[in-house]
Amino acid sequence: MYILGFNSTHDGSAALVRDGEVLCAIEEERYSRKKHHYGFPEHAIKACLDHAGIDWKDLDHAAFYWDPKRRLASFMWHVFRHLPRSLAYFKRQPGIWSDFKALPKKLEDEYGFAGRFHFLDHHRNHLASAYWPSGFEEAAALSVDGTGEWEATALALVGTDGRIKILQSTNYPHSVGKLWETLTQYLGFRPNSGEGKVMGLAPYGRPDLVAKFRDVISSDGKGDFKLNLSYFDFHVGRERKYSDKFLSVFGPARVPESEIDSRHEDIAYALQAVTEDLLLEIVRQLHAISGMDRLVMAGGVALNSVANGRLVRETPFKEIFVQPSAGDAGASLGAALRVWHEVLGKGQEGRWTMKNACLGPEYTAEEYRSALEGSGLDFHESGDAPREAAERIARGEIIGWYQGRMEYGPRALGNRSILADPRNPKTKDIVNARVKFREGFRPFAPAVLAERAAEFFECGNAEAPYMLKVFDVIPEKRAVIPSVTHVDGSARVQTVRREQNERYYDIIRAFGELTGVPVVLNTSFNVRGEPIVNTPQQAVHCFQGADMDALILGDYVALKR
């Protein structure tokens, strides 16, 4: 039985499940080349179907990541409460209800879909996307994002029957995700895209504004919280998400691409600080009311790796699994899995556990060679590509590493990566300025052999295969790996085991044998403003336009003349 899950708003994506097994999951941006693609994921769906060797007519079910009827009711109530200011909503979202309502007929008329269509509620899809792949038999589950149909935060329990029981929720407009969207815009970055930049900026700030931020968002001490709406305009549909009051208290907004000053850094610091404190409170409350020892997390706020690191260290949960495509792209996966396990009543039957996030398309050696021929690059076939990559990195080269299936989610985890030497203190600045063409304050992640992670990072026994947890670098190691040590002494760690990604593991191991440091700098294979590369041709193009030394496509090593 084939089940398609998809999302057609921001971060459009598709996921294909067969009898409970996830076959493929892809973001539309990798095809459209529009970062955080908004709209129907036609190419992503086709890629999923092609991977399985099927057509639309072979699909038994299709599931959308949203329930428009439930959303319409809550949306109209919200607009009514905030009249007349909320009339601005209708200028910005006139067709969203009709677009969603038309989806079943669109699939039938345009693509020949003849199966059963499901509208499924947003936060349960997030929760399912984290629970089913986790492998935990039962777990507490947390979803935190901008908003679903009505909820913005959902605390849940998932028992052995796989049923999701919502224990506590906080409703829109009181939303951690909307808080971050607003401050991302205020700080001159793109909302629903630049939140990671704000997180990277935060450690440069001071705690001077944290007290003032306690008036912007407050909590009841038991996991529920409120935004002080006088600081915001997003909830009345305004394009500018912050209010005049926010400007009067915190000063003028930063103009995009202008200089970042200490006030901007302090605001980012305060935002991160209050978010961490609130999430700690929410997770401790969830532990208390669920009685579980294991936690699964999704929703866009679950991508806050700094906060996740604190949750590992400072909450009672023994294990925490964060789904690597935690944002709305990942809700497609949750929707497809919910049809099999919940709607069809399969329970634990056919359950699939995530071993790695490499769920996207894969290309052949012939396609690699075709992309290189006529490119103007010199290339040869390596007898041991991981070893050659490690040797080049140890010599100070920066390489594009392109292998196997593309990762699902916003992080490159060793198949669409740019790799470099973390020991050189200049590597961070070189990669930011000459390779990625991005802001100099942004940090890079270390990829480390899982069995040796505790030698370099204060992570204990915790692993972070999806680069979604931040740990402190052991003080005496900070000078050893300076280019992956952030300004506050932390690092967004990726732990790597051979059974998760054999060739990637072999690079890090070989680099460790050559240098004594089993750690490499890993960043996504793209440049600023572009999605991660998908096809071999895109990898070649990106390599030619950036200051990298070598490109390794499968076993082919390409060099610039």
CA 215 to CA 250: how far, in whole Å? 12
What is the structure's pLDDT at 238? Answer: 87
Active site residue 61: no
Alpha-helical (H) ranges within 320-372 are 328-338, 365-372
What pLDDT does 521 receive?
Answer: 98
Per-residue pLDDT, 73: 73
pLDDT value of residue 95: 56
Cα 100 to Cα 93: distance, rounded to the nearest angstrom: 12
The parts of the chain modelled with pLDDT lower than 70 are 90-97
Please give the pLDDT value at position 561: 82
Longest CA span, the chain = 69
Q: Which domains does the chain have, with CATH numbers?
A: 2-131+327-343 (3.30.420.40), 171-321 (3.30.420.40), 365-559 (3.90.870.20)
Q: How far is CA 362 from CA 20, 372, 554, in A?
A: 21, 17, 11
Cis bond leading into 203, ω under 30°?
A: no
- Burial string for 176-206 (b: 16+ CB within 10 Å, else e) reads bbbbbbbbbbbbbbebbbbbbbbbbbbbbbe
How far from the centroid of its chain's Cα atoms is residue 480's Cα? 28
Residue (of 89, 90, 4) closest to 40 by Cα position: 4
Inter-helix orientation angle 176-186/262-290, to 10°: 170
For the packed helices 328-338 and 122-134, what is the interaxial angle rounded to 10 degrees?
80
pLDDT of residue 96: 64
Distance set, CA 173 to CA 28, 145, 228, 285 (Å)? 28, 11, 10, 21
* Nearest-angstrom CA–CA distance, 351 and 341: 8
- Cα Rg, the chain, nearest whole Å: 23
- Cα separation of 129 and 344, whole Å? 17
What is the pLDDT, as a whole number, of residue 464?
A: 97
Q: Give strand pairing partners of 205.
A: none
Burial 146-160 (b: 16+ CB within 10 A, else e): bbbbbbbbbbbbbee
**Which helix H or strand E contains 493, and what residues bound it?**
strand 490-496
3-class SS at 287?
A: helix
* Residue of 10, 43, 123, 264 marked catalytic: 10
Rounded to whole angstroms, how far apart are CA atoms 397 and 421?
8
Cα distances from 429 to residues 6, 147, 444, 456, 478, in angstroms, run 38, 36, 10, 22, 16
Look at the block and give the residue holding tokens 């302090």.
266
State the pTM of this model.
0.95
Closest CA to 142 of 129, 156, 125: 156
